Amino acid sequence: MIQRIQTIYLVLTTLLLGLTFAFPFATYTLGQGDVIFNAYGVSENAGEVSTFFPYYITIALSMGLALFSILQYKKRKVQIKVGRFIYLLLSVTIAFVFIDFYSLKGQFKIDSTAVSYGVSMFLPVAALPILFMANRNIRKDEDLIKSLDRLR
């Protein structure tokens, strides 16, 4: 059934990942202005600096898979596998965000006071425990169905 608690968790995960597109990962204050690092890369006034990883693809894919998982409410094993793949995608995204964050900081040759963290730096991190709770509840439903099948 679609009105289960894991559906709320998956919708919340999708919303958090969607907010990642609205806010920057970080803002670097340079002499010529601010450089914004977001899901689409680095702003135009950064010069020859670019990011390593296409974040908008992995974040959009994670959002799409979370929505797909909601629609697969009758197939709990598929939901669990999709949830594990979303874990992998989010873990890779988070790792590359931090790698690019520190790489850009080094390329701009600035200290920590000239960098301000954005909200989007922590939104994928916040989505992981919510996704964990969704998968845990999907697994509980699967265990409940298995136990009911043994009683028949």
User: Distance between alpha carbon 92 and the CA centroid of its chain, in Å?
Assistant: 9
Which tens digits make up the pLDDT trace of 94-150?
999 888 888 888 887 877 777 888 899 899 999 999 999 999 998 998 888 888 877
Which tens digits make up the pLDDT trace of 39-56?
888 877 666 776 777 888
* Residue that the structure tokens 């929505």 belong to: 67
Q: Which domains does the chain have, with CATH numbers?
A: 5-146 (1.20.140)
β-pair type (115-117, 26-30): antiparallel
Could you give the CA distance from residue 43 to residue 22 in angstroms, rounded to a whole number? 14
Confidence of residue 92 (pLDDT cuts 50, 70, 90): very high
10 Å Cβ neighbour count for 15?
Answer: 14
Sign, Cα dihedral of 97, 99, 100, 106: positive
Mean pLDDT of the chain: 86
